[in-house]
Every structure is written in structure tokens, then in C-alpha cells.
Amino acid sequence: MFSFKRFNTQFCILLGQNANRHSIALLVMVMYFVIIHFKFSPSLILTDRNPFDDFFMILTIGSIGFSLDVFKQLRSPIAGIYYQMTPATVFEKWLAALLYTTLFTLVVIFTTFLLVHTLIITGANLFSTVDYAYQFPNWALAWENLKMVLFFQSLFFLGAVIFKKSPFLKTILVVVGSVILFSIIMGLVIKHQFDVDSLSVSFGSDKGIQGFEVLEQFETLIKVLNVFSWILPFGCWGAAWYRLKTIQH
């Protein structure tokens, strides 16, 4: 049975454990965010570009880093015992880690950036004759970008639970390996498709219709990949939950 009190305790434990480390990480992100507000030309002035253009990239890096950190205790043979023996269901522990690395990370980074941006723009408007406009992330692409963040976060969230040592490198290796394997398979499929196409042309088939079919197959592939990008985060999160349930120390 889900208990909000236990979930809250788990979340507070994660917060307390990672407070120092993640505050420093946030500070580094903020410093980068401040820097990208300015340009040298040759004196220091505010740049025209929207500093929030990099927001989702920073958020991705943040959520990956935090995902690797929230299971640091679990990966240690001794600290892992403490993690497992803390009274809470696997679901409560999993949900606390998931929300910490997704929603909480998003809210904290976004709020901090927004405050910093507001301060910089307000300050610039106070001391400059130019009227600088307040900017925001591109909301039209926000959902697509957020999907990308969750895609990468879920991969490293799972990697952090599965790999006891060097989860970051190992996850990257698995991802790169999978992409290469997928590319080879797709390359072979496409090559085969073109071979079949040219073969049928030589038999005098209607070339236009054949070409159209190949195009349709590509569109189907894109649709499948799109669905896959939707399913993958849920699959990774589910797999992480299962791993948490079955992991032994």
C-alpha cells in the first residue's frame, strides 16, 4: 500500500543526501547560464540570442547527473544495505528517485534560471539605455525537448540501477552500441529494399509506384521510431523498478 509519508521521507532522504553535491552542480549550471547571457564585442554586453535556447540541453545534463547520483547509495555494497533496509516499498523508493530526477530537477533548474535571467535583465535595463526583453524557452518546442530530456534521463536512470561500477560510461557504451547495431540493421534493410526495387525495375514494373512504396516504408519507420521514443522512457523506468525489486546485497 502506497504511503505518502514514507514517500516523502524517501524524497527528503534523497534531498538531504545530495544537497551539497547537487547545489554545487546547480551553481555550475547557473554560472554557465550567466555567461551565455553576455558577449565580448569588445566590451561586455548582453547577447541578442535567447539564453534559454540551451535550457533543455542543460536540463538533460542535470537530469542525467542527478539520475546517476540518486542510486549511488544503492550501488555500494555496504550503503546499499542501508538503502534496502530503509522502511519503504520499492515503488515509493523508485517514485521518489524518479520525481527527484525529473519533475524536481526541472522545477529547480527552471526556477533558478528564470530568477537569474530576471535579475540580469532587470539589472541591465536599470543601467543601460537599451530596453532588453525578458526571454523564455521556446514553448512551441518545449514538449519535444522535454521528451528528449526524459528519453536520456530514463536511459541513465536505468543504467544507474543496473551497473554497479561506472554506470555513466557503461550506459553510454550500451547506447552507442545499440545505435550502431540498429544503424547496421537499418542499413541492410534499406540496401535490401533498394536491391529489390532495382530488380523489379529491370523486370519492367511501374517504377513510380515502387518508389512510392519505399517512401511509405520510411514514413512507417519514422512513425515506429517516434512511438519507440515514447515507449522507451516508460520501459526504462519500469525496468529500473524491477531491478530495484530484485537487487540483492
Partner 1 sequence: MITLENIRFGYTSRKPLFEDLSLTLEGGHIYGLLGKNGAGKTTLLKNMAGLRFVKSGLCTSFGLDAKRRLPSMLERIYFLPEEIWLPDMKINTYVRTYAPAWPRFDHGYFKNCLKAFEIDPTARIKTMSFGQRKKTGIAFALATKADILMLDEPTNGLDIPSKTMFRKLVAEALDEDCCIILSTHQVRDLETLIDSVIVLNEANIVFNQTIDATCEKLRFSLSTSLEMPENVLYAEMTPRGYAVVNQNLTGEESKVDLETLFNLCIQQPETIHQLFNA
Query: H helices within 86-135, ranges in order?
Result: 90-99, 105-127
Pick 79 or 148: Cβ nearer partner 1: 79
Pick 38 or 242: Cβ nearer partner 1: 242
The site string for partner 1 over 190-229 (x = CB under 8 A, - otherwise) reads: ----------------------------------------
Query: By the 8 A CB rule, do 115 and 26 touch?
Result: no
- Rule CB under 8 A: which of 86-115 touch partner 1? 86-90, 92
**Phi-psi region at 38: left, alpha or beta (left = phi > 0; alpha = psi -120 to 50):** beta
Contact status: 161 vs partner 1 (CB under 8 A): no
Query: Phi and psi for 108 in degrees, rounded to 5?
Result: -65, -50
Pick 84 or 193: Cβ nearer partner 1: 84
Nearest distance in Å: CB 91, partner 1: 11
Pick 3 or 198: Cβ nearer partner 1: 3
Question: Which amino acid, residue 40?
Answer: F
Pick 9 or 200: Cβ nearer partner 1: 9
- Rule CB under 8 A: which of 46-85 touch partner 1? 73, 76, 78-79, 81-82, 84-85
Contact status: 13 vs partner 1 (CB under 8 A): yes
- Rule CB under 8 A: which of 230-249 touch partner 1? 248-249
Query: Phi and psi for 187 in degrees, rounded to 5?
Result: -60, -45
How big is the site for partner 1, counted in residues (CB under 8 A)?
A: 26
Q: In whole angstroms, what is the distance from residue 57 CA to residue 63 CA? A: 10
- Rule CB under 8 A: which of 131-160 touch partner 1? none
Bond before 137 cis per omega within 30 degrees:
no
Query: By the 8 A CB rule, do 189 and 196 touch?
Result: no
Contacts 24+ apart (CB under 8 A), 122-126: 124/46
- Among 9-17, 126-134, 135-143, 197-205, which window interacts with partner 1 (CB under 8 A)? 9-17
Contact status: 175 vs partner 1 (CB under 8 A): no
Nearest distance in Å: CB 165, partner 1: 17
DSSP state of 47: -
Residues 223-246 as b/e (b if ≥16 CB within 10 A, e otherwise) read eeeeeeeeeebeebbeebbebbee
Q: In whole angstroms, what is the distance from residue 151 CA to residue 157 CA? A: 10
Which residues are near partner 1 by CB under 8 A? 3, 5-6, 9-10, 12-13, 16-17, 20, 73, 76, 78-79, 81-82, 84-90, 92, 248-249
